[in-house]
Amino acid sequence: MKKYKVAVVGATGVVGNEMIKMLENRNFPVESVRFLASERSVGKTLKFKGQDIAVELLTHDGGKGMDVALFSAGGQTSKDFAPSFAKDGCFVIDNSSAWRMDDNCPLVVPEVNPQDLVKDKKIIANPNCSTIQMVVALKPLHDYAKIKRVIVSTYQSVSGAGSKGIADLEAQAKAYGKGEKMPEPKKFPYQIAFNLIPQIDVFDPNGYTKEEMKMTNETMKIMGDKNIAVSATCVRVPVFRAHSESVWIETEKPLSPEKAKELLSSAKGIELMDDVSKSIYPMPIQASDMQKTYVGRVRADISCKNGLTFWVVSDNLLKGAALNAVEIAEMLVAKGII
């Protein structure tokens, strides 16, 4: 089997660490690996398949001789460095929002639109975490009944905000448990422990946050259908890992819950967890560190013809980020693109 030279940019971050784990756990055919990051991380060592590998400084020459680079170092870093990597023939799979809506860059979820991966598009965008898990569930339903409209409310874990978000929840929960004064939040605008914050990212003039508009715009691009209307409300919740979503759809063709369950249960990447008689449904505690997207609570909307509602849970650091990026790399190999 052919093997590939792989770079991980932003290797010391939360998602970067998960990318390394996914490359190892999924046995991606790695010939050699480089871990690249900013100057403050240079010299640190990270393990890959039992070996200690030193973190190197990210430079514009970092893509020379590499086949694929997984980027998770922030939007500005991606804007600055991804073109240099691509120019040197390296495929860039970028986890930031920098390239997602660029017409020249595919925005890919392998279960949904693998056909968008082509040889002459070297920069490939990894979608927003909350968008990924939703479109995985939407795809089989859209293929069968054509979705006209989506209304989604997300319940997003603190790990979606990186290590500082995790630290906020940890510190506040510990203080509460000890009866101590609640520490001031360092990442979120308000206390997150035992609270919900109905704001992720900044607000646009239309009253939606940028996170919510990502779900709207990215869904249409990934699904290849600009006629799908999407309205999202994104909420940060005091959960460490895995995002949950309440999704409502309206379809052109009638779609019964039974048919929807049949479609979902046979779709790639999905595990149906739906037996309300036994209180079986997906929860973030079950989805953490798991590679699938879980769907449950599938039911007809009693207020609308051709309406269906369901619950979707997935690990935001895995399928929502690192796993999807590695799956894109796997698809590049499977299609003979690299």
Going residue by residue through the chain (338 aa), what tens digit of pLDDT does each one get? 899 999 999 999 999 999 999 999 999 999 999 999 999 999 899 999 999 999 999 999 999 999 999 999 999 999 999 999 999 999 999 999 999 999 999 999 999 999 999 999 999 999 999 999 999 999 999 999 999 999 999 999 999 999 999 999 999 999 999 999 999 999 999 999 999 999 999 999 999 999 999 999 999 999 999 999 999 999 999 999 999 999 999 999 999 999 999 999 999 999 999 999 999 999 999 999 999 999 999 999 999 999 999 999 999 999 999 999 999 999 999 999 99
All domains of the chain in start order, with CATH: 4-127+321-334 (3.40.50.720), 131-316 (3.30.360.10)
- Check residue 95 and give its pLDDT: 98
- Check residue 1 and give its pLDDT: 84
Q: How far apart are CA 77 and CA 72, in angstroms?
A: 9
Which residues in the chain belong to E strands, given as ranges? 4-9, 30-37, 45-48, 51-57, 68-71, 91-94, 123-125, 147-156, 229-236, 243-251, 270-272, 293-300, 307-314
3-class state of residue 207 by DSSP: coil
DSSP one-letter code for 244: E
Contact in structure between 36 and 61 (CB atoms under 8 Å) = no
Q: Which of 90, 105, 129, 234 is catalytic?
A: 129
Q: Which of 105, 142, 234, 243 is catalytic?
A: 243
Structure tokens at 261: 């369950």
Contact in structure between 317 and 284 (CB atoms under 8 Å) = no
Q: How far apart are CA 60 and CA 72, in angstroms?
A: 16
- How many residues belong to the chain? 338
> 243 catalytic, yes or no?
yes
> 304 catalytic, yes or no?
no
